[in-house]
Amino acid sequence: MVKFLRRRQYLLLSLVALLCVGLFAACGVPPSTQTITTPSPASADNASNPTANDTLKLLYWQAPTILNPHLSNGLKDLEASRLTLEPLATYNSAGELIPVLAAEVPTQENGGVAADGRSVTWNLKPGVKWSDGTPFTAADVVFTYQYLTNPDVAAISAGTYAIIDNVEAIADTTVKISFKQVNPAWSLVFVGTEGMVLPRHKFKEFAGANAREAPANLLPVGTGPYRVVEFKPGDVVIYEANPNYREADKLGFQRVELKGGGDAASAARAVLQTGDADFGYNLQVEAPVLEPLLKAGKGQVTQSFGPLVERILVNMSDPNREVNGERSQKDTPHPFFSDLKVRQAFNLAIDRDAIATQLYGRAGKATANFLVSPTPYNSPNTRYRYDLEAAQKLLDQAGWVDSNGNGTRDKNGVEMNVLFQTSVNPLRQKTQEIVKQSLERIGVRVELKSVDASIFFASDPANPDTSSKFYADLQMYTTGNTNPDPASYMKSYLCSEIAQKANHWSKDNVSRYCNPAYDALWNQAATELDPEKRRQLFIQMNDLLVNEAVVFPIVHRADTSGVSDRLTGVNLTPWDLNTWNIADWKRKA
């Protein structure tokens, strides 16, 4: 996660640090203490003396560490980026596509969407400027595509843009996107969470292997309502109103403070009980803890059952064997998860109902599905079951028995020991304990590991504890499709999307699962124009993942946030980030 700016008295240190972004060690400034500030003293002064009503306080207990959304797989980084960077369009809570940087939504009727399904043309809003005053044009959209698809950049979102053949600036306010083949999912690119456009003039010198050295990764220049003036990665981001924003006069705040750290329970308390914060992100708090806080009457909890699924991922590769400096290498099969019966046995040992009811309460529903939203994609064909006796029988059939009497199953000299990792979060640690107890009852030795979220969800290729490296047997976190069209989300299990050293672990298939049958279904869906046939193909993909037991969906989780009663205009959508419409947030009079 991204580390934030603060304290202008360290301006000299900050300016030195800014010259060596990405080279912390060379500059002698450890990343945990580095503060980056905008080289604009006037801007910093304006942002440092707001009235209380002019300041919006956001509490993100998972703190951001980078403000380039295309170089991070952590939602906390994308959330912080979304105040400054914008897509061409996005989806609101009703699933309606609405323009952001675009002047209108392309359709066949207005000539934007080609009848043959092979291109889309966007007309952009005229007169839009980046926060430094540089005009925003179609050239920025073209550059963003080139940047994301350069393999040396290792952009996390590159897979979404692989369907594109060419992006062309027809005019300063017109951009045409041509696809490699018929594409029913034209709105996946440059839209919503993965669609944020980057300024060419800030990144053109950092569009290759040096992408992580760009100063704009930490001090972004955007078209959005707010601009960053201070950033201390892993701690705090300070924004001020963007004077070049196209609707600057409608902004409700002069200053926004996005504070990271702490935990979900303290974030909930700050919004709902003490009123110290206006908005609390991702309140993964047990129901018995959350309910009393609501009685203080200072805020509300918003819950939306969108696409989020808490799941346990199975590592199909061997996390303990190293090949050419790489563990969990795609060609090294896992010593026991390569066996379907073993994976099915583990799946039977997960008490989803207990986890959902005891820990999540009204904020979670037990599920067997990987794809749960929009509702028509939620498969009716799958079932989950908690059955330890059946699990033990499957392990017996697979030849995993306790041959040496030490309480752990083994086979051919290999003990059935698993390392189960997740991010630090009391709710997740309790989920781990429930799963561990059941697995130990069927003869599996389980070691639990919890990693700070700023490390676990980081995208640093040198970090051995990231979720993308997956140097464990099982790991757990939440994600879901960020678009009503699930094509990009379901792409994450393609053979071509396997995260590995060669692509800097930037791809989404961290389980290293490869099944030609799954690839065939996805490839068919990629060009299927009939909506019903396409829906059925995605359901078949979901069912294959569930039946193959390569992922164990646990809970369909509500997107839960705390919102102060002092705020108006907060309109959350499952298809974009919480901060997507922050330009509309106001303080009640």
Lowest mean pLDDT: which of 179-183, 280-284, 578-582? Answer: 280-284
* Per-residue pLDDT at 399: 97
Query: Three-state SS for 300?
Result: strand
CATH code reported for the domain at 309-482+546-557 = 3.10.105.10
Confidence of residue 39 (pLDDT cuts 50, 70, 90): low
Q: How many CA atoms lie within 13 A of 455 on its CB side?
A: 14
CA 35 – CA 31 distance, rounded (Å): 9
pLDDT in tens, 52-69: 689 999 999 888 999 999
CA–CA distance from 17 to each of 31, 33, 210, 458 (Å)? 10, 11, 16, 20
Strand partners, 450: 422
Given a cut of 90, is residue 525 above it in pLDDT? yes
pLDDT at 49: 53
Kindly indicate the confidence band of residue 47, based on its pLDDT and cuts at 50, 70 and 90. very low
Residue 165 phi/psi, 5-degree rounding, is -95, -40
Q: What is the pLDDT of residue 50?
A: 56
The yes-or-no verdict on residue 249 having pLDDT over 50 is yes
Give residue-wise pLDDT tens across range 113-144. 999 999 999 999 999 999 999 999 999 999 99
The pLDDT assigned to 458 comes to: 78
Phi, psi of 234, rounded to the nearest 5 degrees: 85, 5
Burial 433-447, CB ≥16 within 10 A → b, else e: ebbbebbeebbbbbe
- What does the DSSP assignment read for 405-460? SSSS-EETTEE-EEEEEEES-HHHHHHHHHHHHHHHHTT-EEEEEEE-HHHHT---
Q: Tens of pLDDT along 6-24?
A: 333 333 333 333 323 333 3
222, 51 contact by CB (below 8 A): no
Does residue 265 surpass a pLDDT of 90?
A: no
Tell me what percent of the residues of the chain surpass a pLDDT of 90: 76
Mean pLDDT over 444-469 rounds to: 88
* DSSP 8-state class, residue 323: B
Task: Give residue 52's pLDDT.
Answer: 67
For residue 159, the model assigns a pLDDT of 87
Average pLDDT over residues 503-526: 94
Q: Given this model, what pLDDT does residue 12 score?
A: 31
How wide is the angle at C-alpha 536 spanned by C-alphas 530 and 542, nearest 5°? 140
Tell me, what amino acid is at 459? S
Within a 10 A sphere around the Cβ of 349, how many other Cβ atoms?
25
Mean pLDDT (the chain) is: 89
Q: Is 90 exceeded by the pLDDT of residue 349?
A: yes
The pLDDT of residue 44 is above 70: no
Q: What is the CATH number of domain 89-205?
A: 3.90.76.10
Q: Where are the domains of the chain?
A: 3-82+221-303, 89-205, 309-482+546-557
**89-205 shares its CATH topology with 309-482+546-557:** no
Cα separation of 158 and 507, whole Å?
Answer: 8
Higher pLDDT, 516 or 324: 516
Task: For residues 468-495, give the mean pLDDT.
Answer: 94
Round to whole Å and give the CA distance between 294 and 572. 19
| 358 vs 114: CA distance, rounded Å | 51
Q: Residue 21 has what pLDDT?
A: 33
Is residue 27 over pLDDT 60?
Answer: no
Which pLDDT tens digit goes with each residue over 199-225? 999 999 999 999 999 999 999 999 999
Look up residue 173 and give its DSSP letter.
Answer: T
Confidence of residue 30 (pLDDT cuts 50, 70, 90): very low
In the prediction, which pLDDT does 560 show?
A: 87
C-beta separation of 101 from 128 below 8 A: yes
Assess whether pLDDT exceeds 90 at residue 421.
yes
**Cis omega before residue 374 (within 30°)?**
yes
pLDDT single digits (tens) 302-317: 888 899 999 999 999 9
Q: How far is CA 322 from CA 331, 385, 505, in A?
A: 11, 35, 15
Classify 138 as helix, strand or coil.
helix
pLDDT, mean of residues 583-587:
96
Q: Are 319 and 397 in contact (CB under 8 A)?
A: no
pLDDT at 513: 97
The listed range with the strongest mean pLDDT (120-134, 270-284, 323-337) is: 120-134
Q: For the whole model, what pTM was predicted?
A: 0.80
Which pLDDT band holds residue 181 (cuts at 50, 70, 90)? very high
3-state secondary structure of 77: helix
- C-alpha 388/C-alpha 347 separation (Å) is 10
CA atoms within 13 A on the CB side of 270: 22
CATH architecture of the domain with residue range 3-82+221-303: 3-Layer(aba) Sandwich (3.40)
Residue 292's contacts (CB-CB under 8 Å, 6 or more residues apart) are: none
Strand blocks (E) in 119-194:
119-123, 164-171, 174-179
